[in-house]
Structure 1
Amino acid sequence: MLSCKSFVYRYENFGVNFGNSEVILDNDAPPGEVCSNESASQPITSFNKVVENLLSDIRDATPRTSDFYIATTRQVPTDNTIVYAIAQCVRNVSQAICRGCLNTAYNNLQFCLPNKEGRAIDIFCFMRYSETAFFERNQTTNITPFLGEGSSSNSTMIVGVSIGVALLLLVLALLLWYRKMKKAKTVEEAESGLQPDKSYSYQQLRLATHEFGDECRVGKGGFGEVFKAIIDDENIVAVKRLHVGYARAKSEFENEVSLISNVQHRNLVRQLGWCIEGSELLLVLEYIPQGSLDNFLWGEKRGTLNWEKRFDIIFGVARGLLHLHHEFHVKIVHRDIKLNNILVDDDFQPKICDFGLARLQPEDQTHVSTKLAGTLGYMAPEYATKGHLSEKVDTYSFGIVILEIISGRRCTDENFSGPDTSHLLEHAWQLYERGMHIELIDQELGIEEQHKANVIKTIEIALMCTQTPASLRPTMSEVLLMLSSGLSMRPGKLIKPSFIDSRRVIHMGAYRS
């Protein structure tokens, strides 16, 4: 039985740049449409009709697919123009929720016509159309099997249906009947916006964590605590309890649920469930027993990571970021990559966690302007000083993480090589400029001779990730290729970044420690 209801939240600070026009939706902006400012080049009536019919079809078909995702095209009959369109719902919602969300998205996109492009974003779904190709033609979905009676593309009766098609329609009819019979069971689910097997009651989680007792607490941060718990037939999980006393706790909670509920990767912590009940906000997550990476470098497990394990962790974090930036349907910027947001499993594989600050970045926009939030020492200069958020902000933070892993020093440590060197990054750059990379290596690491060249190359990759301006930094796909091959994709001397006065960043309102 559901105990967590009325769950409504939004993507924050979403911006899209079309040509010279930039639209920024602030924290108070509801989900809705974002339209280009350029009208279609075809006759308006013909273009509008094609787009409306196409969006109507993918709205109807998407909830009937196994993965709630469709990408398809349609030609405008008056010329050779192709309209590209996609629709996607979060995978762990019900069919009813997906259908309702896409219906809202469809209605919102009507306001974009006759513009060349439009996007509709809501909490559980995403819909987009465009004259410009944003996926390959061979990646389209055949939507015909998923279209029910009355869709726009089937408005004309087709005579002479073959036996094979008749059988297909019969199977579809039986499938629709079966889903209709189950509809009564999903009414409460549709009202709450959550699946029964993804929601937990506060009472259940309170008992599973022994009243959120100290003996179950495995972590604590500025916005909440993490507890070890046993639920669902002896499954060990982590329960993240956010402190609602903080102004942004609820928005962080909603943001984390919305972004990671549909993301699955071996180097990202899996979300298993959630609960919102009164003032209580809780997430149920995959439990990683060994804890965060900082404990291996500066805590009780210090000295247990040799170079091979450290390199595997660096490589795994790069794979996780690559998935967020380039392999998922939308680009996700984590915005708070640091050592204690990287967990280590029993096989010493890293898992990125804590998506409370994560944001979406449209693929056709270089950055999103947003309020400052993150952790001092890991912030890219353009983000700390101007609020320009892009995937290259994560790249910069990743570079800092590499330097910490190799040196065994915190990025905020001081007094490395004299009074002129403030912090780890500046120290690393000074060593690089003098050709003395090797002095950065953690003295406890004991690098063997055959690994020294690899360590030095990894340091250079880290510095490459911290260059200014952001355009000089590699993408995570380039980083992964360089880590795999040990070769540099960008020959020549690296460009030293701007070093940030932490007092200025604090004054601008950065938070988290």
Structure 2
Amino acid sequence: MFGQCGKTVRIVVIIGGIVAGVSLMISLGLLCCYIRRRRSKMKARKSTKLRLCQATGTCSIPIYPYKEIERATNSFSEEQRLGTGAYGTVYAGKLHNDEWVAIKRIKHRDTDSIEQVMNEIKLLSSVSHPNLVRLLGCSIEYGEQILVFEFMPNGTLCQHLQRERGDGLPWPIRLTIATETAQAIAHLHSAINPPIYHRDIKSSNILLGYNFRSKVADFGLSRLGMTEISQISTAPQGTPGYLDPQYHQDFHLSDKSDVYSFGVVLVEIITAFKVVDFSRPQNEVNLASLATDRIGKGLLDEIIDPFIELHTDAWTLSSVHKVAELAFRCLAFHRDMRPSIMEVAAELENIRLSRWTSISEENNFTASELSSTSSSSNESEKPLNVTVNKAGIEDQGSLSLKTEIATLISRERSNDGSPFSVQDPWLSEQSSPSSNSLLSKAVQ
């Protein structure tokens, strides 16, 4: 009997040892898998970092783990989707610093998509301007290609012009947006060596912040230029309605291609028409053709957005017509007939600043009238001493513009109920077609 009990104990001990051994082996196996996966992730991140360094020439771009991006977007929730274009989908998200960012998840359309991402990272990391959207980081893991940008709560210029957000923008704000956009493009063309040609300037790529400061976005199609030659040959790519017709004809890309596209944006700002609209007569489907026809015939008033209230004051009437004339020159078929973007930016700034000169002159005239009236009044009354200086008038004008902006921001927030509306798409549904994003040598 005792022998049988001893035998049972030995069996239990053996079984226990086997179980312990198996458990240890499983634990060791899991540990090995964990270490292997961790090493694999670290190796992948090092490889990504190296690739970014080689492609962009800098290792300063933050790389976010994919899991962090996934958490920030609530697993790319539809509720946080801001918009979808030809290149990918943009989501609102909060990263570890609890600040809202825009997360662009690139579509896997072709083998060039990774090159397009590298191209955009390279260009964005090489420029810095208050009117160019800032790249905050990227994530390239698990076959994903993700870019993280600063968040722009007021959507795009296109959305406001098409009344998808708000009821419209006052003319002074539209003119300021146009001026800032031109300055950003001018920075790309002239302040950087080699220059950068954006190739996809359009109203849906002009993003707006809380104070309606504009920022140019989407550098996926951009190309570096070389200053030794004036143009490069490349297959024309861009968005229908904005594409330089001469570039489309001879495949020669230059800085004037961006000028043409910006000319279309100026016409959009004036008319609030769609760039391509098949509901219009056949010869007016293309907005550039429609606008050049009306401006050339002196019939601009037929296509001006009624929201602008053209006859509110002399400055509005004059400035709208001056911007239209500038747009007409930008839309010239031959590139040599178009102004440079630096000239365009300077002219827009002069038109914008002329508002305060106009207000100053009007107020000085009113002050003179009041002073004259006071001096001829009853001698028992003290003469009214009215002095109005130019600086004071400029302050009043600035206050007026700030009030307009504050009113629009208030309207946006009251409509959305939050700093941003995830119900409104951030990007145009019709973005640029896919392209070969290998960096080509270009010239001005």
TM-score grouping bracket, smaller chain normalisation:
0.5 to 0.7
Question: Is it true that 1:471 corresponds to 2:336 in the alignment?
Answer: yes
Distance 1:228 1:421 in 2: 37
Question: Is it true that 1:337 corresponds to 2:259 in the alignment?
Answer: no
Residue 299 of structure 1: how far off its partner (Å): 4.0
Residue 433 of structure 1: how far off its partner (Å): 2.1
Distance 2:319 2:256 in 1: 24
Residue 452 of structure 1: how far off its partner (Å): 0.8
Residue 285 of structure 1: how far off its partner (Å): 0.7
Question: Is it true that 1:262 corresponds to 2:303 in the alignment?
Answer: no
Which of residues 249, 255, 259 in structure 1 aligns to 2:113? 249
Which of residues 168, 180, 199 in structure 1 aligns to 2:63? 199
Which of residues 55, 77, 95 in structure 2 aligns to 1:123? 55
Compared with structure 1, are the counterparts of its residues 8 and 462 closer, same or farther at alpha carbon in structure 2 (3 Å cutoff)?
farther
Compared with structure 1, are the counterparts of its residues 486 and 309 closer, same or farther at alpha carbon in structure 2 (3 Å cutoff)?
closer
Equivalent position of 1:39 in the other structure? none
Residue 247 of structure 1: how far off its partner (Å): 4.0
Largest Rg, 1 or 2 = 2
Compared with structure 1, are the counterparts of its residues 207 and 415 closer, same or farther at alpha carbon in structure 2 (3 Å cutoff)?
closer
Deviation per CA, 1:152-208, whole angstroms, max 9, x where unpaired?
Answer: xxxxxxxxxxxxxxxxxxxxxxxxxxxxxxxxxxxxxxxxx744x711111110111
Residue 123 of structure 1: how far off its partner (Å): 3.2
Checking the alignment, whether the CA contact within 8 Å between 1:396 and 1:466 is kept in structure 2 is yes
Question: Is it true that 1:430 corresponds to 2:293 in the alignment?
Answer: yes
Compared with structure 1, are the counterparts of its residues 455 and 7 closer, same or farther at alpha carbon in structure 2 (3 Å cutoff)?
same
Distance 1:286 1:322 in 2: 22
Distance 2:246 2:69 in 1: 41
Distance 2:131 2:222 in 1: 16
Checking the alignment, whether the CA contact within 8 Å between 2:207 and 2:217 is kept in structure 1 is yes
Equivalent position of 1:145 in the other structure? none
Q: Which amino acid aligns with 1:446?
A: E
Deviation per CA, 1:475-503, whole angstroms, max 9, x where unpaired?
Answer: 1111112112249xxxxxxxxxxxxxxxx
Aligned-pair identity (%): 34
SS of alignment partner, residue 343 of structure 1: strand
Equivalent position of 2:308 in the other structure? 445
Equivalent position of 1:16 in the other structure? none
Distance 1:393 1:364 in 2: 18
Distance 2:149 2:319 in 1: 35
Distance 1:415 1:243 in 2: 31
Equivalent position of 2:433 in the other structure? 511
Which of residues 134, 140, 158 in structure 2 aligns to 1:276? 140
Residue 226 of structure 1: how far off its partner (Å): 0.7
By percentage of residues, which structure has more strand?
1
Equivalent position of 1:491 in the other structure? none
Question: Is it true that 1:481 corresponds to 2:413 in the alignment?
Answer: no
Equivalent position of 1:6 in the other structure? 47
Gaps of 5+ in 2: 1-40, 353-431, 436-444
444-453 vs 280-289, greater mean Cα deviation: 444-453
Equivalent position of 1:372 in the other structure? 236
Residue 420 of structure 1: how far off its partner (Å): 4.1
272-281 vs 297-306, greater mean Cα deviation: 297-306
SS of alignment partner, residue 228 of structure 2: coil
SS of alignment partner, residue 4 of structure 1: helix
Q: Which amino acid aligns with 2:45?
A: C
Residue 267 of structure 1: how far off its partner (Å): 0.7
Deviation per CA, 1:245-272, whole angstroms, max 9, x where unpaired?
Answer: 3343222111101110121111110001
By percentage of residues, which structure has more helix?
2
Residue 405 of structure 1: how far off its partner (Å): 1.2
Gaps of 5+ in 1: 11-92, 98-121, 126-192, 488-509
SS of alignment partner, residue 101 of structure 2: strand
Distance 1:363 1:319 in 2: 20
Q: Which amino acid aligns with 1:235?
A: E
Q: Which amino acid aligns with 1:402?
A: L
Runs of 4+ in 1 over 6 A off after TM superposition: none
SS of alignment partner, residue 226 of structure 1: strand
Q: Output the aligned Cα RMSD.
A: 2.4
Q: Aligned ranges for residues 53-132 of structure 1 at < 5 Å?
A: 123-125=55-57
Distance 1:239 1:357 in 2: 18
Checking the alignment, whether the CA contact within 8 Å between 2:55 and 2:118 is kept in structure 1 is no
SS of alignment partner, residue 239 of structure 1: strand
Checking the alignment, whether the CA contact within 8 Å between 1:438 and 1:456 is kept in structure 2 is no
Compared with structure 1, are the counterparts of its residues 230 and 471 closer, same or farther at alpha carbon in structure 2 (3 Å cutoff)?
same
Compared with structure 1, are the counterparts of its residues 243 and 420 closer, same or farther at alpha carbon in structure 2 (3 Å cutoff)?
closer
Deviation per CA, 1:221-259, whole angstroms, max 9, x where unpaired?
Answer: 111011111113212211111012334322211110111
Checking the alignment, whether the CA contact within 8 Å between 2:88 and 2:104 is kept in structure 1 is yes
Distance 2:216 2:283 in 1: 34
Which of residues 301, 316, 319 in structure 2 aligns to 1:454? 319
Equivalent position of 2:176 in the other structure? 312
Checking the alignment, whether the CA contact within 8 Å between 1:253 and 1:356 is kept in structure 2 is yes
Checking the alignment, whether the CA contact within 8 Å between 2:131 and 2:215 is kept in structure 1 is yes
Residue 456 of structure 1: how far off its partner (Å): 0.5
Compared with structure 1, are the counterparts of its residues 194 and 263 closer, same or farther at alpha carbon in structure 2 (3 Å cutoff)?
same
Distance 2:87 2:267 in 1: 26
Distance 2:294 2:236 in 1: 31
Q: Aligned ranges for residues 344-363 of structure 1 at < 5 Å?
A: 344-363=208-227
SS of alignment partner, residue 280 of structure 1: coil
Q: Which amino acid aligns with 2:118?
A: E
Checking the alignment, whether the CA contact within 8 Å between 2:87 and 2:106 is kept in structure 1 is yes
Checking the alignment, whether the CA contact within 8 Å between 2:66 and 2:139 is kept in structure 1 is yes
Which of residues 245, 249, 254 in structure 2 aligns to 1:390? 254
Distance 1:301 1:331 in 2: 34
SS of alignment partner, residue 55 of structure 2: coil
Higher relative contact order (CA 8 A, sep 6+): 2
Checking the alignment, whether the CA contact within 8 Å between 2:236 and 2:247 is kept in structure 1 is yes
Distance 1:260 1:207 in 2: 25
Distance 1:261 1:124 in 2: 8
Residue 414 of structure 1: how far off its partner (Å): 4.5
Equivalent position of 2:76 in the other structure? 212
Residue 278 of structure 1: how far off its partner (Å): 3.0
Distance 1:223 1:307 in 2: 32
Residue 4 of structure 1: how far off its partner (Å): 3.1
Residue 428 of structure 1: how far off its partner (Å): 1.3
Q: Which amino acid aligns with 1:245?
A: R
Checking the alignment, whether the CA contact within 8 Å between 2:270 and 2:304 is kept in structure 1 is yes
SS of alignment partner, residue 145 of structure 2: strand
SS of alignment partner, residue 6 of structure 1: helix
Equivalent position of 1:300 in the other structure? 164
